[in-house]
């Protein structure tokens, strides 16, 4: 049952709903953020009030938080109703909107922006925090990864033993951040992108890491001894299985591609198990997740099967390149550099495009010439540099499959065009 609310909170809910409805009428979007902002203006304590009595799981990471939150929500739904910020609005207004949308839900699976996690953890009193990875993302506007790690570390120091952290043992920045918490479940989710975690977060020495390519290799600091913790859960070295605490290996058959999603499923299943859900049941729910806000979506454009992939920073592009490098589909890459993307696109020089050479590629987006220079340098064959990302499709044999990797705003525009 939902907790009873004081008059101010009820007023806030009403005002928020009215603002959201007005925003939708004016076609300014889906209304969640506007409605949530109004709610918090009227009652700044509303998040705390609405969170009371719910079993809340907050999920944060640079990459994979929307997907993992969706997996956890699916698993929790096997036990009851779940409040969930489906649209990825992941700061205060989005969180309050999600909690207000289903006040009777006994569970919550809430994605939270990395910088806002400490405040949201304090306000909600969430009993599970899922911490996955911290890598460079939109550096010219976001916080530096080390600063985010320090904020999470300070949060963990304040937690009581009522809150359990589930943390990725393969990201040194996450391990260092989570370690002060009284209760941590370590999950080997894998970390293949290690460029942002070369140095020890504790003392600054260069970390030693076995370069076996598995993503779950042990790492340690030779100076202070910080090291990959013993894991309760882990993916297998080939990233095709999830090993549970009793040693059973589950084999995921995910609809989502790539090894990162096996890692996402591993920590989602671990979180669900913490709520008393059988791992096999939780995994079955994770397997049903198909697309996340249009990411990974399969559609058809002019008779070509098209898959849309989001590559928003070096780590996520690196994973997408692995997926497209083995798919056999024609590749279109799209780069913008607007505010939401980060205005400085120089990070594309950190993406290991060389691994795709000499694959043919079509290049598009507002910063297509920057990207074309990068891909040409990497040894890919430029088939076309076009303003319209879909222009190259006309020259392909009928029915040939196409993968499109685009960064944030380019992805959103494409999704609006190709997803009916």
What residues make contact with Zn ion under the rule CB under 5 A? 200, 202-203, 205, 221, 223-224, 226
Looking at residue 341, the DSSP 8-state letter turns out to be G
Looking at residue 303, the DSSP 8-state letter turns out to be T
* Pairing label, strands 298-301, 304-310: antiparallel
Nearer to Zn ion, 149 or 316 (CB): 149
Nearer to Zn ion, 55 or 191 (CB): 191
Radius of gyration of the chain (CA): 22
The minimum distance between CB 219 and Zn ion, in angstroms, equals 11
Alpha-carbon distance 384 to 400, whole Å? 17
The minimum distance between CB 223 and Zn ion, in angstroms, equals 5
Nearer to Zn ion, 3 or 203 (CB): 203
Task: Give per-residue burial for 253-271: e unless 16+ CB within 10 Å, then b.
Answer: ebebbbbbbbbbbbbbbbb
Nearer to Zn ion, 205 or 419 (CB): 205
Nearer to Zn ion, 221 or 405 (CB): 221
The minimum distance between CB 170 and Zn ion, in angstroms, equals 17
Please, where are the H alpha helices in 336-378?
368-377
Nearer to Zn ion, 175 or 285 (CB): 175
Please, where are the H alpha helices in 190-275?
259-274
The minimum distance between CB 227 and Zn ion, in angstroms, equals 9
Alpha-carbon distance 377 to 348, whole Å? 12
Alpha-carbon distance 317 to 409, whole Å? 15
Three-state SS for 308? strand
Looking at residue 62, the DSSP 8-state letter turns out to be S
The minimum distance between CB 80 and Zn ion, in angstroms, equals 43
Question: Dihedral sign, CA of 265, 267, 268, 272?
Answer: positive
The minimum distance between CB 294 and Zn ion, in angstroms, equals 41
Q: How buried is 65 (Cβ within 10 angstroms: 0-12 exposed, 13-18 middle, 19+ buried)?
A: buried
Nearer to Zn ion, 18 or 203 (CB): 203
CB distance 174 to 155 below 8 Å: no
The minimum distance between CB 60 and Zn ion, in angstroms, equals 24
């Amino acid at each position: 049952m939902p907790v009873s609310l004081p008059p101010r909170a009820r007023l806030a809910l009403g005002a928020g709903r009215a603002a959201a409805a007005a925003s939708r009428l004016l076609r300014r979007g889906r209304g969640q953020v506007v409605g949530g902002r109004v709610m918090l203006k009227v009652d700044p304590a509303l998040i705390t009030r609405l969170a009371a009595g719910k079993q809340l799981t907050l999920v944060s990471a640079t990459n994979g938080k929307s997907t993992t939150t969706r997996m956890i929500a699916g698993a929790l739904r096997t036990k009851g109703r779940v409040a969930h910020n489906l649209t990825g609005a992941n700061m205060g207004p989005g969180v309050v909107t999600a909690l207000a949308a289903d006040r009777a839900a006994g569970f919550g699976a809430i994605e939270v922006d990395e910088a806002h996690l400490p405040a949201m953890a304090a306000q909600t009193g969430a009993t599970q925090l899922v911490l996955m990875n911290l890598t460079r993302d939109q550096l010219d506007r976001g916080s530096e990864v080390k600063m985010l790690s320090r904020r999470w570390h300070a949060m963990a120091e304040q937690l009581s033993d009522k809150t359990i952290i589930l943390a990725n043992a393969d990201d040194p920045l996450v391990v260092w951040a989570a370690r002060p918490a009284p209760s941590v479940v370590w999950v080997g989710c894998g970390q293949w992108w290690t460029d942002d975690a070369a140095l020890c977060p504790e003392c600054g020495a260069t970390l030693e890491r076995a370069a076996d390519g598995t993503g779950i290799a042990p790492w340690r600091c030779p100076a202070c001894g910080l090291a990959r913790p013993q894991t309760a859960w882990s993916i297998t070295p080939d990233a095709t299985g999830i090993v549970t605490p009793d040693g059973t290996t589950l084999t995921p058959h995910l609809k989502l591609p790539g090894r990162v999603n096996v890692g996402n499923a591993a920590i989602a299943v671990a979180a669900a198990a913490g709520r008393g859900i059988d791992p096999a049941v939780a995994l079955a729910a994770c397997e049903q997740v198909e697309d996340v806000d249009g990411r990974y979506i399969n559609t058809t454009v002019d008779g070509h099967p098209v898959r849309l992939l989001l590559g928003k920073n070096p780590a996520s592009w690196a994973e997408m390149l692995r997926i497209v490098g083995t798919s056999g589909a024609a590749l279109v890459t799209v780069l913008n550099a607007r505010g939401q993307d980060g205005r400085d696109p120089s990070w594309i020089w950190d993406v290991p495009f060389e691994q795709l050479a000499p694959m043919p590629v079509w290049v598009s987006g507002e910063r297509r010439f920057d990207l074309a220079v990068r891909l040409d340098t990497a040894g890919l064959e430029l088939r076309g540099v076009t303003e319209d990302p879909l222009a190259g499709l006309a020259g392909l044999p009928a029915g040939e499959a196409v993968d499109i990797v685009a960064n944030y705003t380019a992805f959103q525009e494409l999704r609006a065009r190709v997803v009916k």
